[in-house]
Amino acid sequence: MGIPGNLLTTAMAVMPHTDVDRAMSLALSLDIPFWPQLPHLSYYEDMYVQASERFPGIELNIVERKLRLSRERFVAELDEALCRLDDPDFLDISETYSVVYHRFLGLELSQRAAIRGQMEGPISLGFNIQDDEGRPILFDDTVRSFMLEFMARRATVQLRRLKGRNPNAFIYIDEPGLQFLFSGMAGYGDRAARSDMEYFFSMIERPRGVHLCGNPDWDFLLGLDLDILSLDVYNNGEIFTSYAGAIRRFLERGGTLVWGIVPTNLEPFSREDVETLERRLSGMWETLARKGLDRELVLSRGLLSPATCCLINPDRERTVEQAFGVVKALSGQMRERHRLA
């Protein structure tokens, strides 16, 4: 069946919880569950730390919550890493780096419409990890070249593990850094960036996609060979819907869009309810319909989710949990209204 649509529910993985059972219960409450990432529980559960596991040259300080790359150690450890790129145990996330992932894999998930995993992408990882001189490793040609293959192979290993639990499993590559990709950064031009991203995704097994919350080059992103794209339309819907042609082409070739419509930050969440959010989302679809997009295609290739992750609310888990509830209520109301199976 592949990735379902029809306005079923899922969510991004980063959550504010410190109670694993509570976080897992929330993730499992949606139609398409996922394994949560819980950075408040442990620095090992941070998405950048998980993605960097066993990357040559990485120096991790759990106590100070710092992550960096030693260029000297990278050179010394590269050969061993290259020799183990076909070893799933080397590439997969260990229990030290995610208790939640391994607990998720132990669940009975075969009857779900689909399940989902995630891995931080090379652009965001490369922006956020710096070398000895304080330079993002994305700008180091040697490190970046290895990172593209290393991260793609890690994503594929995880996807295969998830498919063992549910044949309709898919994976997000979390790439908040994509919104900065074509900003004229010194040492990494547009042509190289486009080539690298196309190469990276070509190495990941399907179904594969991207999640991000910002405003990237939508023409470029929708033109990549992706199966699913998850985005924050609560904040970015007006800009996104201006790319109607690229959206239509993405959907017509079988892509799925995850409409992140329910805010998880306390202040905007307090201003919204199911009715206001349905009007906002329907307004976006009406805009696309006026530009020639078939409404049935949008619905059949669409999922609903919260708009963003949120780790900073003063009430910690409460608003996030309420937002998940609103996503489910909105899905139920809209599926009934549009007579979706």
Residue 169 lies in a domain: yes
Domains of the chain: total: 1
Residue 2 lies in a domain: no
Cα gap 124→94, rounded to integer Å: 21
Q: Which residue range forms the structural domain that includes residue 146?
A: 8-337
Helix (H, G, I), strand (E, B) or coil at 229: strand
Residue 3 lies in a domain: no
Residue 275 lies in a domain: yes
CATH of the domain at 16: 3.20.20
Residue 183's pLDDT is 64
Residue 258's pLDDT is 98
Residue 224 lies in a domain: yes
Residue 59 lies in a domain: yes
Q: What is the pLDDT along the chain (341 residues), one digit of tens a residue?
A: 589 999 999 999 999 999 999 999 999 999 999 999 999 999 999 999 999 999 999 999 999 999 999 999 999 999 999 999 999 999 999 999 999 999 999 999 999 999 999 999 999 999 999 999 999 999 999 999 999 999 999 999 999 999 999 999 999 999 988 887 766 665 676 777 788 999 999 999 999 999 999 888 899 999 999 999 999 999 999 999 999 999 999 999 999 999 999 999 999 999 999 999 999 999 999 999 999 999 999 999 999 999 999 999 999 999 999 999 999 999 999 999 999 97
- Signed CA dihedral, 101, 231, 25, 167: sign only: negative
Residue 188's pLDDT is 72
Sheet holding 208-212, edge to edge: 8-9, 302-306, 256-262, 228-232, 208-212, 170-174, 116-120
Residue 64 lies in a domain: yes
Residue 1 lies in a domain: no
What are the angstrom distances between the C-alpha of 304 and each of 8, 10, 272, 307, 339?
6, 6, 16, 9, 16
